[in-house]
Amino acid sequence: MQYNDYMSKMSVNDKEYSFYDVKKFIQEQGGDFEKTPYSIRVLLENIIRNGEEVDFPFAYAKTIAQAYGKGDSVSVPYKPTRVILQDLTGVPAVVDLASLREGMKDAHKNPKKITPEIQVDLVIDHSVQMD
pLDDT, tens digit, 9 for 90 and up, residues 78-117: 778 888 988 888 889 889 999 999 999 999 999 999 999 8
Task: Identify the sign of the CA torsion 74, 52, 82, 61.
Answer: negative
Domain boundary among 67, 90, 114: 67
CA dihedral 41, 123, 93, 121 (to 10 degrees): 50
pLDDT digits (tens, 9 = 90+) for 22-62: 999 888 888 888 888 888 888 888 888 877 666 667 777 77
Same domain, 61 and 23: yes
Label the pairing between strands 7-12 and 119-123. unpaired
Give yes or no: residues 52 and 8 share one domain: yes
Domain count, the chain: 2
Q: Are residues 86 and 56 in the same domain?
A: no
Element (H, E) at 76: none
Are 48 and 90 in a shared domain? Answer: no
Q: Quote the domain boundaries for residue 36.
A: 3-67
Query: 96 and 54, same structural domain?
Result: no
Looking at the whole model, is its pTM more than 0.75? no
